[in-house]
Amino acid sequence: MNSHSRITPRAPRARRRPAAATLGSLAIAVGLALTGGLAAAPVHAQASAVQVDIASQPLSEALLELAEQTRLQILFAPDIVAGKTAPALRGSFTADQALAALLKGTGLRYQRQGDRFMLTAGEPDMLNAVTVIGMAERHSMTEGTGSYTTRISSIASKTEQSFREIPQSVSVVTRQQMEDQNITDIRQAMLAVPGVTYNGVDFYSRGFAITSMQIDGGAPLALGSYNYDPQQQMAFYDRVEVMRGASGLLGGVGDPGGIINLVRKKPLAQDQLKVSLAAGSWDDLRTEIDASGKLAANGKLRGRGVFSYQNSDSYIDHRHTERPAVYGVLEADLGPDTLLTVGGSYSQINNDGAPPTLPRYSNGADLGLSRSANLSQPWAYDDTDRWEVFGQLEHRFRNGWIAKLNATHTDQKTDRMWNYTSGSVDPVTLGGLTWGAGTAKSSNRQDMVDANLSGTFDVLGRTHEFVVGADWQRVRSDWVNSNLAVNYRDPVDPFNPGAWNPGRTDADYNYSAHYGPWGQEQVGGYALLRLHPTDSLSVVAGARISRYEFSQIINTKRGAADWQVFQDAKFNEATEITPYGGLIYDLNEQWSVYGSYSAIYKPQPLVMQGPQPGSALPPIKGKSFEAGIKGELFDGAANATLSLFNVERTGTAVLDPAYESSSSAYDGNCCYLAQGKVVSRGVDLELGGEIATGWQVTAGYTFNTTKDKSTGTRYSSVTPKHLFKLATAYRLPGDLAKWTVGGSMLLQSASYVSGTARDASGDFVPFDFNQGGYAILNAMVRYQITPHWNMTLNVNNLTDRVYYQQIGTLNGNNVYGTPRNAMLTLRGTF
């Protein structure tokens, strides 16, 4: 036996038992088609004849080409194919015929195990000992699979489960989809997720913000505030998973929108080098280098490093971006059953100019400015540095139980010189706008630790599963903001803003505010039990117990005066228990029906109830119900979900009319009332994966209505009632197999923001700023130049649709969507 780690094969869900496989020294080399793979290697593709065209070459290269052309998954040790040559192979063959022909005379054997072909130099029965270096998510990684889905996700319970085992709606954006759609950061990835919208600040699902983000299934990052701006580079990640609905069991406090899980790239067992060079509209230049492999001859130490760099202008005036980033990770087998992973990343986002936040006319009408308009000055900037270090330890006990420890530390610092206009535009005089500017420096540090134990046990002749764990999250933030003394004096012509150059020395600032230390800490314990009373029925029950603390200090000053304490607040929420439950019933081998219940719990430390000086409002509470049907289609190559959801939430803070209006989301002024019931209802319909040979699809439709029961009005007006997203790629058959064509679509109905504007007589009247429904179409074509090189062209917003991606207020925060643009990318894999 050696010290390489093992993956225990998965048995059928209702009878899952740990299997004790003999440990081997096998390294994995997986060759997959651009549109096939681990999650999309259907048995019918192995049994039917396909056209094969492979030149005589080293056997390892021939096997990779065969995998591409037949969408097989082939596992082999590099040392057993070293020095061997494969004959040329052209014609129509089944997978078995083609593989047998390539191996003829080599002394190698193969055996099919489900949708895998596994090679060995020994007797076939030795294949039962096949193991793969690395534990954890090795068999759920999407890299190299060519698929738009994955069979396995760990977002719902800290353990790996199929989509059918999770009684909530789950979506995934895979490595292949990111490359096909040219997705490079977390915002673009979330825009590709069915049922999710983005308002320029937060991600929304089912009418509520998504405020929790896990990395590798660890304790959640806090996205809700505290100056944390999610801008992760997708070059570092294998996939993005999103579970919609309440996630209090694992995410702790937060809204019922859902939870995000980012899965980092990990070292591969075989040596691999990937490079990409891209050039696009507005002088957008990007490059990426990704190298992975063994760092020790015995394979016990593996490493991976990723470097990416982007330098780009913009369709927006006065805007330029530079984004260097580097990521490194090491994996070490400490023993036959213990895996240690450590790594870190560093990235910069340097923006020249300020982002556009266009105002409106004072009556609410659109100014009709061009999409390039930016009512800012070129001397504005915002620069962000982000550091992250992480460590993971995983141990598999001999009885099959698994212990995991996952820790991450992030540190984000931003230095900003801001410059915007204030006010709205009078439709007659065209006056009303004035210049404003200032500086802001902020930092955000988050520490997350999660430890859990999971495994199976037998009761009454049946096998069940149990997970128990604890997590800790600490957020510490600091923010200093200063305004220029000359702000809001100089008028601005929105149609010809011109230059504005006020003094910017320390003496030029008349008001400053320092928020910090400012943050939260939560500690929680959780447990999840999954019972299988029958072969078809699974019962899920779990609960979380949480402790929550919040504190902040606010200091202010005028000009050169000394800092004065404005607020020093501490807030503790009583221990809270959050229950969770679900049922899954297998109708057959493909389809399951499910139902689930999740509790909602969100403290409100920044808002207080009267009388002044106020006391903290009770936390927001509620419940989320979901029911639906899930299917694994085309021999597991695709996942389908139809879900109905109902979310009820009570206690959200609204201004109390009995007191003078004096509110700020940052300093917790008095006074507020707890809002009545908010209800969100709707339907999610999703399909993802390979729906025909060579055809990858992810499609989702969401119907969602939200209502504030206390006022009878729509609760989330920026959430469209109808939202449809589609991404697809099709590899052409036969002589055209080197070509892949595809694209994506976003189709959504109208949304709006309510406000108050002056009418012709000067009185204030309510208005709605409507964003009509719109469709955005994108196209993609890829050509496989050689087995190692391919070229991809992406064209986005094909029809050059003019629309607002973000709708704001009379004073600003209205942002146009990106005009038609193109990107040409050359990728190489070695």
What pLDDT sits at residue 37?
32
Cβ–Cβ under 8 Å, residues 680 and 705? yes
Indicate whether 658 pLDDT > 50: yes
More confident call, 267 vs 154:
267
Q: Is 234 exposed, middle or buried (0-12, 13-18, 19+ CB in 10 A)?
A: buried
Binned at pLDDT 50, 70 and 90, residue 120 comes out as confident
As a whole number of angstroms, the distance between CA 200 and CA 215 comes to 22
Q: Is 389 exposed, middle or buried (0-12, 13-18, 19+ CB in 10 A)?
A: middle
Considering Cα of 162, then 168, then 174, then 177, what sign does the dihedral take?
Answer: positive
What pLDDT sits at residue 234?
94
Cβ–Cβ under 8 Å, residues 96 and 226? no
What pLDDT sits at residue 2?
38
More confident call, 48 vs 6:
48
As a whole number of angstroms, the distance between CA 411 and CA 221 comes to 12
Indicate whether 3 pLDDT > 70: no
Name residue, tokens 């006074």. Answer: 671
Measured between alpha carbons, how far is residue 69 from residues 355, 474, 695, 736 in Å?
Answer: 46, 49, 14, 12
How confident is the model over 450-502, as pLDDT tens digits? 999 999 999 988 999 999 999 999 999 999 988 888 888 899 999 999 999 88
Cβ–Cβ under 8 Å, residues 789 and 68? no
Q: Name the phi and psi angles at 658, rounded to 5.
A: -75, -10
How confident is the model over 712-721, as pLDDT tens digits? 888 888 899 9
How confident is the model over 552-573, as pLDDT tens digits? 888 988 877 888 888 787 888 8
More confident call, 824 vs 659:
824
How confident is the model over 323-346, as pLDDT tens digits? 999 999 999 999 888 999 999 999
More confident call, 191 vs 769:
191
Q: How much is the average pLDDT of 229-241?
A: 91
Structure tokens at 745: 């679509």
What does R_g of the chain's alpha carbons equal in angstroms?
Answer: 28
How confident is the model over 505-535, as pLDDT tens digits? 655 777 888 988 888 899 999 999 999 999 9
More confident call, 605 vs 677:
677
What pLDDT sits at residue 1?
36
Interior angle at CA 211, CA 208 and CA 216, nearest 5: 130
Indicate whether 32 pLDDT > 90: no
Interior angle at CA 731, CA 729 and CA 735, nearest 5: 160
Beta-strand relationship, 615-616 and 608-609 = antiparallel
What pLDDT sits at residue 507?
58
Which amino acid, 126? M
Which of 109-113, 253-257, 462-466 reaches the highest mean pLDDT?
A: 462-466
Q: How much is the average pLDDT of 109-116?
A: 66
More confident call, 102 vs 614:
102
Q: How much is the average pLDDT of 309-325?
A: 95
What pLDDT sits at residue 39?
33
Binned at pLDDT 50, 70 and 90, residue 665 comes out as very low
Which of 643, 635, 637 minimizes the C-alpha distance to 593?
643
Indicate whether 25 pLDDT > 50: no
Q: How much is the average pLDDT of 384-411?
A: 94
124 three-state secondary structure: helix
Cβ–Cβ under 8 Å, residues 158 and 217? yes
Cβ–Cβ under 8 Å, residues 44 and 50? no
More confident call, 228 vs 683:
683
Indicate whether 289 pLDDT > 80: yes
Binned at pLDDT 50, 70 and 90, residue 609 comes out as confident
As a whole number of angstroms, the distance between CA 783 and CA 816 comes to 33
Which amino acid, 235? A
The count of other CB atoms within 10 Å of the CB of residue 768 is: 12
What mean pLDDT value characterizes the chain? 84
Beta-strand relationship, 116-120 and 109-113 = antiparallel
Measured between alpha carbons, how far is residue 398 from residues 159, 170, 395, 403, 711 in Å?
Answer: 17, 32, 10, 12, 59
